[in-house]
């Protein structure tokens, strides 16, 4: 589609841009023309059409300033004109719709601009682009015009720009584009009423270029050279093919990174579980044992010096008592045997009596 354009051409340059400089040119309402970097529907716009008045041979040309946005002549006089409803006409259906079909024989015109704007739709925003010829020459669009009279008797001339499917190099930006008449032959054929089959087609020549401009162009109040100043893109992607393949590459990298992330998370989880099950280090173990030993020692009562002495005397007395008390075997044996046992050297543990007997 085409909803915004730049037309800062001088009035005299417009017919020359349309290759109409070999005959008389009549001006109509050109006092309303205001050159602008940001022209939209409802604004005054000069068009070139054939003179269907005094010149019966049709050789005359009219430079006529009209409103952009077609208002069909059969519109009710009491209706409020809506210039945004039909500012474009699909070339595929102009021969079918009543609003356009009746205009094809004698109401064709040309629109000359230095460039037009189109918006690239992204997920969250729209980025405008300025489209123009590489060498700076004006673009010429195929258009249709009509006249309508309101309830006050005022006659209003309006026009619509024809659009077609986008060219192969323009599809990344938009699926529609204006019908561009790129040479004198196609311009003559359109104005002379030739068949539209070979005229209303996408412009495929490589001299049509574009670049991004400020989103402020979306407001009709925004005006001036800033409208066509190139701005850098945040993504730094200007080529549709590279953008397509880079998007595919990013998707593959994201899938790979997701798989790697899942794997890393699994390894991390297993590592944490193993660390929880591992025994403590030697230093930690020694420290723990030292703490336990300290606790045990702190729980055992420490005897005093008096208690130690009493314990030693009691231990000596118990040993003496055990040595002096005869065992059951000694009581049952004869005195001679007992004496022999005492004197024998086979005892490994001599009694206290034998010890003192030697002394």
pLDDT digits 0-9 by tens, 45-65: 999 999 976 444 556 899 999
Contacts of residue 209, Cβ cutoff 8 Å, sequence gap at least 6: 131, 132, 133, 134
pLDDT in tens, 195-210: 888 899 999 999 999 9
Residue 199 forms part of a structural domain: yes
pLDDT at 111 (0 to 100): 98
Q: Please tell me which residue, 165 or 196, carries the higher pLDDT value.
A: 165
**pLDDT(271) > 70:** no
Regarding beta strands 61-68 and 115-121, do their DSSP bridges make them parallel or antiparallel, or are they unpaired?
unpaired
Give the 3-state secondary structure of residue 145.
Answer: strand
- Name the E strands within 166-248: 176-178, 208-212
Residue 346 forms part of a structural domain: no
Q: Give the active site residues.
A: 2, 118
Which residue in the block uniquely carries the two structure tokens 């990344």?
Answer: 172
**pLDDT(277) > 60:** no
Q: What is the pTM of this model?
A: 0.65
Torsion angle, CA of 189/193/195/201, rounded to 10 degrees? 60
Distances (CA, A) of 170 to 25, 92, 93, 165, 247: 35, 18, 21, 9, 19
Q: Are 180 and 208 in contact (CB under 8 A)?
A: yes
Q: Please tell me which residue, 248 or 126, carries the higher pLDDT value.
A: 126
Distance between CA atoms of residues 211 and 150, nearest Å: 41
Residue 131 forms part of a structural domain: yes
Q: Are 22 and 56 in contact (CB under 8 A)?
A: no
pLDDT in tens, 16-48: 999 998 888 999 999 999 999 999 999 999 999
Residue 217 forms part of a structural domain: yes
- Lowest-pLDDT range, 85-99, 188-202, 328-342? 328-342
Q: Are 130 and 208 in contact (CB under 8 A)?
A: no
* Total domains in the fold of the chain: 1
Residue 264 forms part of a structural domain: no
Which residue in the block uniquely carries the two structure tokens 């719709």?
Answer: 97
Distance between CA atoms of residues 221 and 213, nearest Å: 16
CATH assignment at residue 80: 3.90.1680.10
Residue 201 forms part of a structural domain: yes
Distance between CA atoms of residues 72 and 148, nearest Å: 6
> What's the domain range around 12?
4-228
Distance between CA atoms of residues 35 and 20, nearest Å: 20
The average pLDDT across 230-240 equals 70
The average pLDDT across 129-142 equals 97
Q: Are 112 and 17 in contact (CB under 8 A)?
A: yes
The average pLDDT across 322-326 equals 54
The average pLDDT across 82-89 equals 96
pLDDT in tens, 106-131: 999 999 999 999 999 888 889 999 99
Which residue in the block uniquely carries the two structure tokens 């109040």?
Answer: 221
Give the 3-state secondary structure of residue 160.
Answer: strand
Nearest to 30 by CA among 19, 15, 41: 15
Residue 278 forms part of a structural domain: no
The average pLDDT across 147-154 equals 94
Give phi and psi for 13, each to the nearest 5: -80, -20
DSSP state of 80: P
- Lowest-pLDDT range, 20-34, 212-226, 261-275? 261-275
Q: Please tell me which residue, 329 or 257, carries the higher pLDDT value.
A: 257
3-state secondary structure 84-128: CCCCEEEHHHCCCCHHHHCCCCCCEEEEEECEEEEEEECCCCEEE
Q: How confident is the model at residue 340 (pLDDT cuts 50, 70, 90)?
A: very low
Residue 325 forms part of a structural domain: no
């Amino acid at each position: 589609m085409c909803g915004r354009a730049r037309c800062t051409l001088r009035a005299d340059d417009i017919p020359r841009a349309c290759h109409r400089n070999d005959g008389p040119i009549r001006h109509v309402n050109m006092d309303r023309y205001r050159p602008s970097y940001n022209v939209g529907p409802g604004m005054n716009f000069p068009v070139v059409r054939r003179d269907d008045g005094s010149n019966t041979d049709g050789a005359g040309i009219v430079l006529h300033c009209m409103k952009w946005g077609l208002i069909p002549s059969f519109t009710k006089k009491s209706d409020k004109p809506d210039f945004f409803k039909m500012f474009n006409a699909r070339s595929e259906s102009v021969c079918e719709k009543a609003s356009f079909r009746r205009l094809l024989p004698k109401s064709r015109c040309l629109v000359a601009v230095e460039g037009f704007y189109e918006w690239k739709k992204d997920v969250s925003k729209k980025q405008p682009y300025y489209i123009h010829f590489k060498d700076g020459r004006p673009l010429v669009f195929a258009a249709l015009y009509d006249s309508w009279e309101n309830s006050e008797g005022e006659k209003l001339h309006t026009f619509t720009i024809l659009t077609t499917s986008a060219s192969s190099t323009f599809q990344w930006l938009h699926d529609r584009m204006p019908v561009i008449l790129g040479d004198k032959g196609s311009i003559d054929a359109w104005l002379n009423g030739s068949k539209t089959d070979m005229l209303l087609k996408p412009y495929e020549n490589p001299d049509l270029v574009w670049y991004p401009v400020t989103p402020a162009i979306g407001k009709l109040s925004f005006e001036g050279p800033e409208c066509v100043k190139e701005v850098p893109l945040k993504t730094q992607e200007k080529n549709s093919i590279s953008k397509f393949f880079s998007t595919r590459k990013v998707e593959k990298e994201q899938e790979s990174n997701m798989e790697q992330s899942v794997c890393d998370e699994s390894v991390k989880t297993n590592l944490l579980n193993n660390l929880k099950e591992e025994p403590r280090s030697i230093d930690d173990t020694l420290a723990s044992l030292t703490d336990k030993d300290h606790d045990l020692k702190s729980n055992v009562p420490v005897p005093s010096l008096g208690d130690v002495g009493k314990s030693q005397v009691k231990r000596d007395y118990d040993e003496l008592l055990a040595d002096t008390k005869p065992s059951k075997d000694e009581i049952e044996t004869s005195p001679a045997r007992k004496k022999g046992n005492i004197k024998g050297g086979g005892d490994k543990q001599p009694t206290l009596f034998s010890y003192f007997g030697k002394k």
